[in-house]
Structure 1
Amino acid sequence: MTATSIPGDTPLALAEAERAYKQALTLHPQDAEALGNLGRIFRAQQRLPEAALALHLAITIEPHDVQARVELALVLADLGRLSEAEATLRAAIAERPDHADAHFNLGLVLENTARLAEAEAAYRKALQLRPGAVAVYNNLGNVLQRTGRAQEAVDVYRHALSLNPDVPPSHYNLATALRALDEPYEAEPHYRRALDLQPDYFDARFGLGTLLLSLGKFEEGWPLFESRYALPRFLHHRTKAALPLVQWQGESLVGRSLLVWQEDGLGDVIQFGRYLPLLKAAGAKRIDMVCAASLHRLFAQVDGLDALLTHDEAQSKFDDYDCWTSLLSAPTHLSTTLDTIPSADYLKVDTARAAYWRERLANALPPGPRIGLVWRGNPRHHNDAHRSLASLAQLLPLWSIPGASFVSLQKGQDEDEAQRPQAFQPVLALGHELSDFADTAALISQLDLVASVDTSTAHLAASIGTPCWVLLPHHDPDWRWLHGRSDCPWYPGTMRVFRQPRAGNWSAPVEALLQAALARFGQAS
C-alpha cells in the first residue's frame, strides 16, 4: 500500500510528463493537481527536495487534498525527516480518518522510529479499512516479530499468503518468523518459494544460506551465504564497493598475492583463521591480513600469514595485491563440508605470558578448578539483547561447584560487576589487565574451563584447546552453532553448547552447565 504511482515511469516518460506539467503551471500557477503530479514525478526521479516543495505548494493551495499530504509524507520520510512526515500523516488522518494509505504510512514512520506499539495500532487500523492489504499484513508481522511475538507474526504472514500466495516477501517473512520459533525445517520451503517467485531476492538467498548452514548442509549453504555482498544493509556490500581489488572467487591462487580483509567480528576472525594455512597451501605467493590491532600479536605466528596490517595501514598498499577475500568466504571456495572442517588447532600461546598468568593465578587463588567467565558480548551485535546475560548474578549457581575459583575475562564497562563482587559470589577480575587477544589466550591457557556466552572469547578458548562451554539464546542463535546440537563440530572435543529451552530462560542452561561441571570436576550430584 503505497501512494499512487506515475503511469509510464520510464525516464523518458517522466521527463515528458514533467515538461507537460510545468507548461500547465505556466498557464495556471495555482493548479494544485498539476503541482501534486509534478511532485510525484520528482519523487520518482529521486529529486526529493523539489518533490517536497511541489507537494507543499499543492497543499497550500488545496489544504483538503489528503493524497497530496500522504505523498508529501513519503517524500519527507525519504529525506529522513520522520517527525515532519509523522505530523503530515496525522494531519491527513485528521482530514480523512478513513484513509487507509495514511494509516499504513504512519505505521511505517512509527516503525522506523521504533515506536512499535503505535506502529502496530496504525497497521491494524489500516487493515480495518482495507482488510485485503497484503503489504500491511507483512509490516504488521514484522512489528510483531520485533516485539518478540513470533507465533502471532506467523499467523499474520500465513493470512497474508492466504490472500495472495505469490508474494515473495510474505514467504520470506514467514520463514524468518518460523526460524525464530526454532522451526527451520518448516522455514526452508518458504525461503525456496520466495526465490522461485523472485530469483534475485538476496535477503531470501542469504536467509536460506544461513538456515542450510545451521542444518549442516554446507554444500548448498556456503554459496548462498556469499549473497551477503549483495545486501546494502551489510558492511560486506560496502567493503566490496570500496576495495579497489578483484574479489577472489575460488580461482587458482598459485603465484598470487592475497589480501585477507576483516569485515566481520573478532570471533569470526578467530574461528575462521584456521583457513589461512590452507590458503597458503593452495599456492598463494603472499598472504597479508587486515584486522583489528588487538588480534595482531595473536596471529603473528600463524602459519601461512606473511604480514598483518590495520585497516588504515592497508589503504596505501592495495597495489601490492592481486585479489582480496574475507576469511568467511574461504569455506565456500575451499568446498568445506561438515566432514572436512579444518582443525581449530592453529594458534600458538605466548609461553612467557602464560608463565606470568600461571604465577598470577597461583598467588591470587587457592588450589582447585579455575573457571573463566564471560557473561556479556559486544552491545552493538544485532542479537546482543538475547545472547548476553543481564548480569553476572545469573551465573550464581556455578558457585556451588566445590573448590572452584572464578576468573572474570569480561572487558569494558561490563567488568564493573566483577570488580565489585558480592561476598557470596567472589570472582577475580582480570579483564582490565588483558592488553590484547594474545594476552587473553595466555590467561585462558591457565584455566580449566571457560563458561561464556556467544562471543569472541569462546572461539579463542576452544581454538587453543581450553574446554569452553557456551550458553546460547533461544532467539536467533547464530548459524555456526548448528541446529539442535550440544556439541560443536567446529571445535570437536573442546566445546559444548547449552541452549535456552525458550527465550529469556537462562536458568535451565546454567543449571545444565552446573551439572556438567560437577561431573567434570568429580562432584556429580
Structure 2
Amino acid sequence: MTGIDIPTVERLIAANPQDGGAWSALGVLLRRAGRSEAAAACQFRALEHAPTQAGIWSNLGNVLTELGRHDRAVAAHARASALAPGEPTMLFNQAIGCRKSADFAGALRALDRLLRMAPDHVTGEWERALTLLQTGDYARGLPAYEVRRRIPSYRNRPVPGTPWDGRPLAGRTLFLSTEQGFGDALLAARFVPLLRRLADGPGSGGSGGGRIVMECHAEQRRLLSELPVDGTIPAGAPFPAYDAHASLMSLPWLLGATTASLPPPVPIHVPDASREKALRLVGPPDGRRKVGIVWSGRVTFADNARRATTLDRFLRFAGVPGVRLFSLQKGPPEAQLAELGTSALVTPLGPHFDDFADTAAVLERLDLIVMTDSSVAHLAGSLGRPVWNLVQYVPYWIYGTEADGEHTPWYPSMRLFRQGRDEDWDPVFARVERELARFAATGKAS
C-alpha cells in the first residue's frame, strides 16, 4: 500500500461506497495511524461488501487483536485461513492472533502448518520460538530463538568469525557481544560467571583457559564492572581481536538453561559515589514507604505501547496514606511529569541519573518499585529489591503465562500483576492500590 494515503482511499470510497477492498485499505491505513477503533469499523464495513475476501478477514483479525478483542480476532483469522487455505500470510496472522490471545496450542498448530507449507518463512520461525519460550519449553524454544538474526527487524550488527561451540577456550579469546535492550543485557549477564567456568575448562582455576572480552553499553559499564571478564569494549566500538564469538542472549541456549536451573541474577556493582548521590536524592528514612515508579520502557521498542501506560494511572498511589512516590522514569515519557504542575506528588529522579549505577543506588534506598515492564524491572530484580511488575496479558516470555501466577524464576524478588484477557489496565491498578495500602501499613511486599 506504498504511496496510498487516507484521502486517496476516501475518494475511492466516495466514488464507489460498495468497494470492499477500498474500505479494507482505509482500515489498514487508519490502524497504522494508531486509530484502531476506526480501523476495525472500516474492516467490518468492508466485509459487508466482500464477505468472502480472506485478506479482509485477516485485516479484521489483526486490528481486533490490537484492541484486545481476542475471541473475535481468533475467529476472524480462522475464517481467513479457511477461505485461503494455501496462503501463508493468513496462517501467519492467525498464529500471531492465537499467541496474543494466549492460545499457544492454536498458535503452534498454525505455525506448524505454515512451516510445512513455507519452510523458509523466517518470521514464522520467530513466532514459533516466542510461543515455545512463552510456555516454558526452553529445550525447543532457546535453540529456535537463534533465528532472530535472520528476521528483517533485527537491528544488531552481525559479528563476523567463528561462533563459540561451548568447548573450553584453551588459550583462545572469546568475544561476547551485547544485543537488544538494556534489560536483555542484565537478564543474560547472569550467565557470564557460568560461561567463565565452562570456557576455562576443568583444572584451569578460572585463569588459564582463555580470555573473554565483553561488549557493554556505556550506561551499564559501571554496573557490570564486577563480571568475570578480561576486558570490555563500548557497544558499537570496532571489534577486538578474538578467536570465537557468542551473544549474551545466546548464552541461555549455549549453556542449557531451563526454568529449574537458572543462575541467580547478575552481580551488581554500585559505586560509593552513586550511593552518596542516592542518599541526597531520596533522603534518610522518614516513616513513609518510599516507592519508585516507572510507567514506560524505551519508546522505540516495537511493543512498548502494549506494555506501557501513562503517569496519570500511577497518581492514585500518591493518595495512599504513608506512601511517597519517586519517579525513576527516563526518556521522552518524563515529559508527563511537567504536566502535573508540581513535584510534591511525585519526586522526579530521572534527570539525576547518569547511568544504571545511579539508578541501582536509588533502588537500594527505596522500599518498593511499582512499574510497567522495562529495563528497571530487570535491574531491581537483579538487586533483589521488591518490585511489582505490571505486565500485559501476554508479556515478555520470561514472565510465562497466566498459569505461572505472580512469580518468575528469573527474579525471585519480583511480583507480577497481570492484565486480564481484556487487556484492561484499570483492574490491575485497582488491585495494586489495595496491595500498596496493605504494604504501607505492614511493610510486607508479598
TM-score category by the smaller chain?
Answer: 0.7 to 0.9
The answer (yes or no) to whether the contact 1:270–1:460 under 8 Å persists in 2 is: yes
Deviation at 1:440, TM superposition (A): 0.8
CA distance in 2 between counterparts of 1:450 and 1:82 reads: 46
CA distance in 1 between counterparts of 2:383 and 2:415 reads: 15
SS in 1 for 2:221: helix
Deviation at 1:423, TM superposition (A): 7.0
Deviation at 1:148, TM superposition (A): 4.9
The answer (yes or no) to whether the contact 1:396–1:425 under 8 Å persists in 2 is: no
Question: Pairwise mapping of residues 139-178 of structure 1 onto structure 2 (< 5 A)?
Answer: 139-146=59-66, 148-178=68-98
Matching residue of 1:386: 306
Residues 140 and 122 (structure 1), Cα distance of their counterparts in 2 relative to 1, 3 Å cut: closer
Pairwise CA RMSD of aligned residues? 3.5
CA distance in 1 between counterparts of 2:349 and 2:443 reads: 29
Question: Pairwise mapping of residues 356-505 of structure 1 onto structure 2 (< 5 A)?
Answer: 356-362=277-283, 366-391=286-311, 393-418=312-337, 421=340, 426-474=345-393, 476-484=394-402, 485-492=405-412, 494-503=413-422, 505=424
Matching residue of 1:273: 189
Deviations 1:1-37 (CA, angstroms, capped at 9, x unpaired): xxxxxxxxxxxxxxxxxxxxxxxxxxxxxxxxxxxxx
Deviation at 1:454, TM superposition (A): 0.2
SS in 1 for 2:283: helix
Deviations 1:394-428 (CA, angstroms, capped at 9, x unpaired): 12332354423222111234334446757796222
Deviation at 1:222, TM superposition (A): 0.7
Deviation at 1:486, TM superposition (A): 0.7
Residues 86 and 338 (structure 1), Cα distance of their counterparts in 2 relative to 1, 3 Å cut: same
CA distance in 1 between counterparts of 2:52 and 2:75 reads: 15
Q: Which amino acid in the other structure matches residue 336 of structure 1? A: A
**1:309 matched to 2:228:** no
Question: Pairwise mapping of residues 25-40 of structure 1 onto structure 2 (< 5 A)?
Answer: none
Q: In structure 2, which of residues 39, 42, 54 is the aligned counterpart of residue 134 of structure 1?
A: 54
CA distance in 2 between counterparts of 1:501 and 1:118 reads: 23
The answer (yes or no) to whether the contact 1:93–1:103 under 8 Å persists in 2 is: no
Matching residue of 1:46: none
The answer (yes or no) to whether the contact 1:111–1:143 under 8 Å persists in 2 is: no
**1:257 matched to 2:173:** yes
Q: Which amino acid in the other structure matches residue 325 of structure 1? A: A
**1:324 matched to 2:240:** no
SS in 2 for 1:162: helix
Structure with more relative contact order (C-alpha pairs < 8 Å, separation 6 or more): 2
Deviations 1:208-263 (CA, angstroms, capped at 9, x unpaired): 21112111111111111111112112225xx23xx333333545544332222222
CA distance in 2 between counterparts of 1:232 and 1:355 reads: 45
SS in 2 for 1:297: coil
Matching residue of 1:19: none
The answer (yes or no) to whether the contact 2:281–2:349 under 8 Å persists in 1 is: no
The answer (yes or no) to whether the contact 2:47–2:57 under 8 Å persists in 1 is: no
Q: Which amino acid in the other structure matches residue 455 of structure 1? A: S
Matching residue of 1:50: none
Residues 125 and 428 (structure 1), Cα distance of their counterparts in 2 relative to 1, 3 Å cut: closer
- Structure 2, unaligned stretches of length 5 or more? 201-209
SS in 1 for 2:417: strand
Deviations 1:272-301 (CA, angstroms, capped at 9, x unpaired): 111111222122522222232111111112
Deviation at 1:503, TM superposition (A): 4.4
CA distance in 2 between counterparts of 1:133 and 1:394 reads: 41
Identical columns (%): 29
Residues 282 and 398 (structure 1), Cα distance of their counterparts in 2 relative to 1, 3 Å cut: same
Question: Pairwise mapping of residues 224-243 of structure 1 onto structure 2 (< 5 A)?
Answer: 224-236=144-156, 239-240=157-158, 243=159
The answer (yes or no) to whether the contact 1:86–1:109 under 8 Å persists in 2 is: no
SS in 1 for 2:360: helix
Matching residue of 1:509: 428
Residues 415 and 110 (structure 1), Cα distance of their counterparts in 2 relative to 1, 3 Å cut: closer
Deviation at 1:107, TM superposition (A): 6.1
Q: In structure 2, which of residues 108, 117, 123 is the aligned counterpart of residue 197 of structure 1?
A: 117
Q: In structure 2, which of residues 224, 229, 238 is the aligned counterpart of residue 299 of structure 1?
A: 224
CA distance in 1 between counterparts of 2:22 and 2:293 reads: 49
Matching residue of 1:341: 262
SS in 1 for 2:191: helix
Matching residue of 1:186: 106
Q: Which amino acid in the other structure matches residue 289 of structure 1? A: M
Deviation at 1:377, TM superposition (A): 1.7
The answer (yes or no) to whether the contact 1:90–1:106 under 8 Å persists in 2 is: no
Deviations 1:22-69 (CA, angstroms, capped at 9, x unpaired): xxxxxxxxxxxxxxxxxxxxxxxxxxxxxxxxxxxxxxxxxxxxxxxx
Residues 379 and 342 (structure 1), Cα distance of their counterparts in 2 relative to 1, 3 Å cut: same
For these two proteins, the number of residue pairs brought into alignment is: 431
Residues 227 and 359 (structure 1), Cα distance of their counterparts in 2 relative to 1, 3 Å cut: same
CA distance in 2 between counterparts of 1:108 and 1:420 reads: 33
CA distance in 2 between counterparts of 1:280 and 1:181 reads: 40
Which protein has the larger Cα radius of gyration, Structure 1 or Structure 2? 1
Matching residue of 2:211: 286
The answer (yes or no) to whether the contact 1:93–1:99 under 8 Å persists in 2 is: no
The answer (yes or no) to whether the contact 1:124–1:140 under 8 Å persists in 2 is: no
Deviations 1:324-378 (CA, angstroms, capped at 9, x unpaired): 3221111111110111111114222223422442354336x72332211112221
The answer (yes or no) to whether the contact 2:388–2:416 under 8 Å persists in 1 is: yes
CA distance in 2 between counterparts of 1:437 and 1:465 reads: 15
Matching residue of 2:206: none
Residues 420 and 362 (structure 1), Cα distance of their counterparts in 2 relative to 1, 3 Å cut: farther
CA distance in 1 between counterparts of 2:171 and 2:421 reads: 51
Matching residue of 1:45: none
Which is richer in helix?
1
Matching residue of 1:15: none
The answer (yes or no) to whether the contact 1:255–1:283 under 8 Å persists in 2 is: no
CA distance in 2 between counterparts of 1:495 and 1:323 reads: 35
The answer (yes or no) to whether the contact 2:9–2:25 under 8 Å persists in 1 is: no
Q: Which amino acid in the other structure matches residue 260 of structure 1? A: L
Q: Which amino acid in the other structure matches residue 270 of structure 1? A: L
The answer (yes or no) to whether the contact 1:515–1:524 under 8 Å persists in 2 is: no
